[in-house]
A = this chain, B = another copy of it.
Amino acid sequence: MAVKGTSGHRQRQAEATKLEVARVARALFAEHGYVATTISRISAEADIPVQTIYSAFGSKAKILDKITELWMAEAETTARAAAYLEEADPARQLRLLAELNRRQMQAGSDVVAIYQEAAASDPQMADTLRNVLAAREREVRRLIEAVAPRLRPELTVDSALDVTLALTLPEVFHLLVAERGWSHRRYETWLAASLVGQLLRD
């Protein structure tokens, strides 16, 4: 029991270290860029030895994976997507999709910007971003397929997916919320009404 307790304590310590590294790295990536931020800079800022960071993560890319995982957890992505698939009414489903997107943008527009900046100058990060976007596309496709019987007759699942990906772009969120001063609630209401209006037959 003592050994197990110690192990649990160590695991909690290790997780606390990872969370702290992720928190500090996220701020540095957002301010100076992912490519320009070195592990030793993260080490200095977090006051955690470089070797501890390497042991915990192995690479800078894994730190960004952790940041992404924490972001998705904060946005409650998995629970919200499950709620969507359990919902029977298509209009309510699309409202849940709008809510999920608003949560993701609200919780992580800085992470989106980190990925975009990194992908512009680092081919490996461009690959990573392509994978992230492909996973997101599969997720959104699953949600659109769930409302397929109620799509407007002129729409296929593919074209409904295209429109959904366009309306949920981070750049649309950024323009409306950061530049034009919309509240998160107003953005979500607009997105929900746009999706329902464009995708569902009356």
Docked-complex contact B190 and A163, CB < 8 angstroms: yes
Q: How far is the CB of A21 from chain B (nearest CB, A)?
A: 27
A193 nearest in chain B by CB position: B198
In the complex the two chains form, what is the Cα distance from A120 to B36 in whole Å? Answer: 15
- Give the number of copies in the complex: 2
Of A38-46, A59-67, A169-177, the stretch lying at the interface with chain B is A169-177
- The reply to whether the CB of A166 lies closer than 8 angstroms to some CB of chain B is yes
- The reply to whether the CB of A106 lies closer than 8 angstroms to some CB of chain B is no
Of B120, B166, B194, B197, the contact of A175 (CB 8 Å cutoff): B166
Q: How far is the CB of A42 from chain B (nearest CB, A)?
A: 23
In the complex the two chains form, what is the Cα distance from A37 to B175 in whole Å? Answer: 29
- The reply to whether the CB of A162 lies closer than 8 angstroms to some CB of chain B is yes
Interface residues of A (CB under 8 A from B): 117, 120, 162-163, 165-166, 169, 171-172, 175-176, 180, 182, 190, 194, 197-198
Secondary structure call for the A interface: helix
Q: Please, which residues of chain B bring their CB within 8 A of the CB of A180?
A: 162, 165
In the complex the two chains form, what is the Cα distance from A197 to B193 in whole Å? Answer: 11
In the complex the two chains form, what is the Cα distance from A182 to B162 in whole Å? Answer: 9
A180 nearest in chain B by CB position: B162
Q: Please, which residues of chain B bring their CB within 8 A of the CB of A169?
A: 169, 171-172, 175
Q: How far is the CB of A137 from chain B (nearest CB, A)?
A: 10
In the complex the two chains form, what is the Cα distance from A197 to B196 in whole Å? Answer: 12
Q: How far is the CB of A166 from chain B (nearest CB, A)?
A: 5
Q: How far is the CB of A125 from chain B (nearest CB, A)?
A: 16
Known contacts A162-B180, A169-B171, then 12 further A-B pairs from the complex at CB < 8 Å, ordered by chain A residue: A117-B120, A162-B175, A163-B190, A165-B180, A166-B175, A166-B176, A169-B169, A169-B172, A169-B175, A171-B171, A172-B172, A197-B198
Q: Please, which residues of chain B bring their CB within 8 A of the CB of A198?
A: 194, 197
